[in-house]
Amino acid sequence: MIGALFANEWRALLRDGRGIAMLVVGALLAAGASWTSVTTTEREDAARAAATHDARCAWNDRHVDSAHSRAHYGDYVYRPSGPLAGLDSGLQAVTGRVIYTEAHRQNDAVHRPQQSAASLLRFERLEPSTVLQLLAPLLMILAGFGVVTSDRESGRLRLLRIQGAGSMQLLLAKTMALWTIGAAICALTVVVHLFVASNVDVGRVVAFLVLHLALLWIVAAVITGVSARVGRSGTAAAVLLAIWVLGAMVGPRLVAMSADAAHPLPSRDAFMAAMQEDRAQGLDGHDPRDARRQALEKKVLAEYGVERRQDLPVRLGGLIMQADEEYGAKVWDKHFGALEEQMLKQDAFVSALSFLNPLQATGQLSMAVAGTGLASHLDFTRQTEVYRRDLVRKLNHEDAHGVQRNAEGRLQRTTTREFYAGFSAFEYRPLCVGSLLGGRVSELLSVGIWLLGASGFLLLTARRLDRRGVL
């Protein structure tokens, strides 16, 4: 019975010009968004590889300077686009693309080229995740707001009921018919991605597909339920569009604003000043009169069993720089750690409220699956800092130990071009989907609960229809 009803619904949707129009518009949006997004991401990856190559060439071609000069010269790390950025670019538009890694300081990511069209950053990009999370639900609403009301208004429902169709069977068939519109858009998006993208992470793509199919089922069930519960098609359209505006446009913005108000971040000036104050307690590698520097000098002299720095077999400067770096690392860990903690509190606030809004929960999960969410961004900055510390540590070690005393007893550098050529460029290792989704338990639960809740809503609506005989 349900199969026949489902086929019947599909025929009705196709007969109605609106259903066809929505399907065509959805297909165009899905294919267009998937294609442009993948090509943009691939151009971005190519440009990133070129920039990394340029930075590496600059490093290798530089004259053989002192290791400390090289630590100041530093290296540039370019943000990767993320394993599934072609489907969901996540936070990329609002995060800097370059981090300068150098001695003495941990820098922020800078350079956001899209800033030049800042007004457009207020709007979602036309990418697959936008199509599936915002536009496909909308198209389903426009195609299906009258899925029950128009049948009721035309008396077709009563006819179906007389022929033996149960309320639940009817609602389920209508929901499935609507869902297949969304599922078709979803499948097309993924298929185009698979065809166009040169590197495909199948596991992530499957997770992305399943997640959005679940969301679209929730949307289809809510549309059918609302359409069955209200009297007129116009009212159903108004209610469903209002729900969409609240869920897709107003809700997430309100939640973001509330999260910021509940857990405010310090201003950049205050943050930098606090860090500078703590930093001032450490060594100043460039200040020969600094008391802590003198204490370290004494310790090193004692370690090597000599009385004057001129007799040391190592360059004291390199050891001091490394000690300063280690102290600085503690300061940065403290301040950047606190900042990260505050961001995670904001994130937890948003997660907690995702139970109210499946669109928002899906958005967060989608970014997690794509490796373009907050966790991935923070992980990228952490890995960059690990790279920076390792780079500076090696250079400081070379600065201290890459020397020998000549016949006159003066220290001479023994650092070679090969030493610098031995450094490799930063390579980001993305977090696995499991760990990213593991950090999004609230959203997973939210989608699960909404999935059950929306299906339950259908069941309750069917019972209500049976009880009241509204059909």
Partner 1 sequence: MISAAIAIELRNLVRSPLRLGVLALLLLVGGAVILQGGRDVARWQEAIESGREAGEEVIEEARGYFAAGETGPADRTWVNLTQPRWQDSYAATRIAREPASLAGIAAASPEAGAVTMRSSRTADPMLENGAKLENPALAVVGGLDLVTVFALLLPLLVIALGLEIGGYERARGVLPLVRVQAGHDRRWLWARCVAVGAISSLAGVLLVLLASIVLGAGLADAGPLLVMVLAYVAVWTAILGVVVSIARDPSQGAVCLGAAWIFLCVIIPAIAAERSAALAAEDFGVDLTVEARDAGAALSRLSDEQIFEKLFERFPDLRAVAPEELASGRRIALQGLRIVGVEERLEQRERRNDQFTSLMDRASLASPTIAFTRVLEQLAGRGTEASTRFAREVAQAAARRMESYVRASWVGEPLDVEDFEQLVTDTPAGVLPPPAPWSRTLLTLLVWALGMSGLAWFLSQRRS
Q: Does 266 bind partner 1 (CB under 8 A)?
A: yes
Residue 117: both structure tokens together: 């069209």
Q: Does 125 bind partner 1 (CB under 8 A)?
A: yes
Q: Does 23 bind partner 1 (CB under 8 A)?
A: no
From 24, 121, 206, 441, residue interacting with partner 1 (rule: CB under 8 A): 121
**Whole-number minimum distance, CB 111 to partner 1, in Å?**
4
Q: Does 36 bind partner 1 (CB under 8 A)?
A: yes
Q: Does 256 bind partner 1 (CB under 8 A)?
A: yes
From 268, 308, 429, 467, residue interacting with partner 1 (rule: CB under 8 A): 268
Report how far residue 429's alpha carbon sits from residue 283's, in angstroms, rounded to the nearest whole number. 33
Query: Strand 98-102 to strand 75-78: parallel, antiparallel, or no bridges (unpaired)?
Result: antiparallel
Sheet of strand 98-102: strand arrangement: 75-78, 98-102, 105-110
**Whole-number minimum distance, CB 241 to partner 1, in Å?**
5
Q: Does 91 bind partner 1 (CB under 8 A)?
A: yes
**Whole-number minimum distance, CB 432 to partner 1, in Å?**
20
Q: Does 359 bind partner 1 (CB under 8 A)?
A: no
From 4, 7, 24, 47, residue interacting with partner 1 (rule: CB under 8 A): 47
Nearest to 422 by CA among 395, 444, 440: 395
* Binding region for partner 1 (CB under 8 A) out of 73-81, 207-215, 305-313, 458-466: 73-81
Q: Which residues contact 241 (CB under 8 A, 6 or more apart)?
A: 141, 145
Q: Does 37 bind partner 1 (CB under 8 A)?
A: yes
Report how far residue 149's alpha carbon sits from residue 2's, in angstroms, rounded to the nearest whole number. 19
Site for partner 1 (CB under 8 A): how many residues? 98
Q: Does 89 bind partner 1 (CB under 8 A)?
A: yes
Query: Strand 75-78 to strand 403-405: parallel, antiparallel, or no bridges (unpaired)?
Result: unpaired
- From its phi and psi, is residue 76 left (phi > 0), alpha (psi between -120 and 50) or beta? beta
* Binding region for partner 1 (CB under 8 A) out of 70-78, 162-170, 199-207, 316-324: 70-78
Q: Does 134 bind partner 1 (CB under 8 A)?
A: yes
Report how far residue 373's alpha carbon sits from residue 5's, in angstroms, rounded to the nearest whole number. 41
* Binding region for partner 1 (CB under 8 A) out of 116-124, 163-171, 296-304, 449-457: 116-124
φ, ψ for residue 86, nearest 5 deg? -65, -20
Q: Does 451 bind partner 1 (CB under 8 A)?
A: no
Q: Which is nearer to partner 1, 16 or 326 (CB)?
A: 16
Q: Segment 367-426, which members bind partner 1 (CB under 8 A)?
A: 373-374, 377
Q: Does 238 bind partner 1 (CB under 8 A)?
A: yes
The string of DSSP letters for 107-132 reads EEEE--GGGGGGGGGGS--SSHHHII
Q: Segment 96-115, which members bind partner 1 (CB under 8 A)?
A: 96-98, 100, 108, 110-115
Report how far residue 315's alpha carbon sits from residue 285's, in angstroms, rounded to the nearest whole number. 13
φ, ψ for residue 3, nearest 5 deg? -65, -45
